[in-house]
Every structure is written in structure tokens, then in C-alpha cells.
Amino acid sequence: MTNNPPTYTESDITTKISSRSVAETVSLFTEILRAKRLKIFSVIDQRAEAQAVGLELRETVLVVFGSPMQGTPVMAASPLAALDLPLKILVWADVDQTKVSYYSPSALGRIHNLSADLAGNLAGINALTDALVTS
């Protein structure tokens, strides 16, 4: 039996536009996460890491976050879901826009063959990012 790795398409990625700079968007998102008592596992400034080795990269920040109460049952049901959890959003500069991108909960549910209930554990990312780009 072969376990095929998850396969994503561009349509599996949700992208929203923020009216703020990358730094302001990341700052607001981490504030939202803290207010919701969600765990922030890491904030990775990928541009800074590139610059540290003499390379250039547009502003690109990955925020890794989640709720062990919601994510653990997903990983228990589908161990390979741990490749995609905790959840993450990418905040990045695209010319004169700040974009917020992430794998859609429906794509994660499909890729990992999750029940509707378990896929629902991941759906909060939509409301969090809506709050981010509309506030």
C-alpha cells in the first residue's frame, strides 16, 4: 500500500487582500490570535532570513498558529495532516498590495479525507482572516 503525499492546486489556496502593510497585517493578526487565545507557534520573517544570507526576497512572513484542542483530533484521524498543521498564513507583498494566503479548510479536508466534523475544526481560519482584512 502506498500513501501518496498531499497534492494541492492553486485553487486550494485562499488569498485575501489587506489594506495594511505586511508588518501591520502580521501585527494585527497576532493580536487577533492572542485575543482568541489561540497558540502562536512561530512567526517567520522569510525576507529577513533571506537577507541574512545575502539574498533578496519580497516581504514574506509566515505565521504558524492553531489550537491543539482542534488540531489534535485531526492529526489523530489522519497522521499526515501533521504536515499541514498547525495552520499557517502567509502575509506577503505583491507589488503594491499585501496579500494573506493559506490552504483552504475544504482543501485540507479533501486532501486528508477528513469527516465534515473534523474539517470543521480547521474552518476558523476563514473567520480569522476575514476579521484581519476587514478591520
What does pLDDT average to over the chain?
A: 94
pLDDT score for 3: 59
Nearest to 91 by CA among 27, 22, 21, 37: 22
Find where cell 478591520 sits. Answer: 135
Chain segment 71-99, per-residue pLDDT in tens: 999 999 999 999 999 999 999 999 999 99
With a cut of 90, say whether residue 135 has pLDDT above it.
no
* Chain centre to alpha carbon of residue 79: 19
| pTM assigned to the model | 0.91
